[in-house]
Amino acid sequence: MTRDERELAWRRHQRHEFHPPSPDLAAHVARYWVVEWRYDRPYRQLIVPYPNVHLTFHADGAVLSGVSSGHVVKELDGEGRVFGVAFHPGAFRPFLRAPVQSITDRTLPASAVFADLPEHADLAAVEDALRRRLPEPDPRARQAVEVVDRIARDPLITRVDVLAREVGGSVRGLQRLFAEHVGVGPKWVIRRYRLREATERMAAGGRIDWAALAADLGYADQPHFVRDFTAMFGETPTRYAERYPGTPSADRR
């Protein structure tokens, strides 16, 4: 199948900005982001999620998006701009006042949670609105944030039972914590961050031994790695690696 050449030259068509939150919001907000695009014909944008809840401001209003359990494709056409707030994984439960799992794979009007958002995506105005809704500290939310951070930082965490032992809990306890505060299970989060390491190797260039990479990421064999990667990214690893010129493959399966 022919690949859209714009996938390899996306910087010609898109501009991305990222901004840190103010210190008083940093426990809840991971970052602010802006995406602008210009296409003269429709472009299918692949989006592979992380376990963040997002508040986004579009031309026609603000939307709250729960964690997406799989990849999504959005069609971009003409010119557009989106301003977004990415909340720390695990930190949105106190704003929502309901299990974060209840909005997984869902979008809803931002007014369902934030009643007084600005009409336009001005960073200072958005931060003021978040401050007005700022919840009391929640120890369980803080725990969820810390566990997800641990998964993201430690490439040796590849199994939920190992993670449970390291944080001093049970597998079932972690599953309950993640359902309530993260929106997806600990197994999903571990898989997502380990697969991120696969794409980082692609971006670094050079020849990749897929079987060795699968083993490094904690997979029993290469087919299980290929299955999980394809489910998450919508493409096989070798197909996805074509997005990074100069990354030959040791195994074209």
Q: What CATH number is associated with residue 159?
A: 1.10.10.60
pLDDT, residue 248, reads 59
Last residue of a domain, one of 98, 115, 136: 136
Q: Write the burial class of residue 13 (CB in 10 Å: 0-12 exposed, 13-18 middle, 19+ buried).
A: middle
- Confidence (pTM): 0.92
223-235 average pLDDT score: 96
In a domain, 252, yes or no: no
Structure tokens at 169: 């809990």
pLDDT at 252 over 50: no
In the predicted structure, residue 90 carries a pLDDT above the cut 80: yes
156 shares a domain with 121 = no
Tens-place pLDDT, residues 41-52:
999 999 999 999
* Domain housing 93: 5-136
Domain membership of residue 204 (yes or no) is: yes
Q: How does residue 182 score in pLDDT terms, banded at 50, 70 and 90?
A: very high
Residues whose CB is less than 8 angstroms from the CB of residue 217 and which lie 6 or more positions away in sequence, other chains included: 155, 158, 194, 195, 197, 198, 225
Within-domain flag for 248: no
Question: Are 31 and 61 found together in one domain?
Answer: yes
| Boundary residue ending a domain (136, 154, 174) | 136
- Mean pLDDT value of segment 152-158: 95
Q: Tell me what pLDDT residue 251 has.
A: 45
pLDDT tens string 100-141: 999 999 999 999 999 889 877 889 999 999 999 999 999 999
Assess whether pLDDT exceeds 60 at residue 201.
yes
Q: Which of these, 232, 192, 229, lies nearest to 208 by C-alpha position? A: 229
Q: Are residues 30 and 83 in the same domain?
A: yes
- On whether both 154 and 81 belong to a single domain, the answer is no
Tokens 């290469």 found at: 222
pLDDT greater than 60 at residue 249: no
For residues 155 and 128, state if they share a domain.
Answer: no
pLDDT score recorded for residue 121: 82
Instruction: Please tell me the total count of domains within the chain.
Output: 2
Q: Quote the pLDDT of residue 1.
A: 65
Per-residue model confidence (pLDDT) at position 174: 98
